[in-house]
Homo-oligomer: A and B are copies of this chain.
């Protein structure tokens, strides 16, 4: 809700406040958020706390085809349910996670959805039952509903350990976060699979289906220069496809150095020019995080 920002001049700026509504002046707060340290250094944040949900229900559903999992996600969203968790793991990720964390995940499947709903107990019970029905009707191999919070937490740990589990199996792990409108998820996941085949690469994909946010994770070895060139080619294709589908090159991790070269294609000339001008206006000497996001 508010930020304290140190500007390149050394001046300290406070923007935002405890008001739920405030339209006085430009939304500087939102300009600084996500600016990756290129416009100012954030030294304090004012956050709104929200109460813990009264109830929660966790379930895992497995599918013999990724498309079925994606269709189930679409049906859940079309039913106007907004689960607090709607995570997807592909076959590679499922096997790595089970190997690593021994949760007892079903291994004979191509895709796994981890689904959680929270809130008022009556709503949670209703939504959980409805989502279980949607999974079964959508051809799930198995739907496992956690009987209690402990079992729920165990199932949820599958998603939390995904990155660590993948990181174990190769010397270098490169995690991306290409994001697309939810309606394009199935297409994007299929595309990542095809790219992995085309470039002879191992990619484990997991992600937040509820947000259209995918994490194709390259399991590679940076010492292998020939393979790294293939990784770069694959990256480029994945980002190009995300943009083509109306998506973005980064859903939550930011641009930094790694995605800097992809930003102009995503943002377009006008946005790039405006971003450069804003940066020049706020940091004329270019002393803040130079080289990050764009030159």
Contact = CB atoms under 8 A, between A and B. Distances in A.
B18 A271 contact: no
Most B CB contacts (10 A, CB to CB) among A31, A270, A273, A274 go to A274
Copies per assembly: 2
A22 B266 CA distance: 11
A17 to B, nearest CB: 6
A7 B268 CA distance: 14
A43 to B, nearest CB: 13
A249 B19 CA distance: 11
A181 interface: yes
Given A270-B11, A270-B13, A271-B13, A24 B259 contact: yes
A211 B275 contact: no
Contacts of A249: 24
A34 interface: yes
B19 A212 contact: yes
B280 A17 contact: no
A247 to B, nearest CB: 6
A253 B281 CA distance: 28
Contacts of A20: 179, 182, 210-213
Interface in A95-130: 120, 122-123, 126
B14 A250 contact: no
Most B CB contacts (10 A, CB to CB) among A28, A213, A273, A294 go to A28
Contacts of A269: 11
Nearest to A266: B24
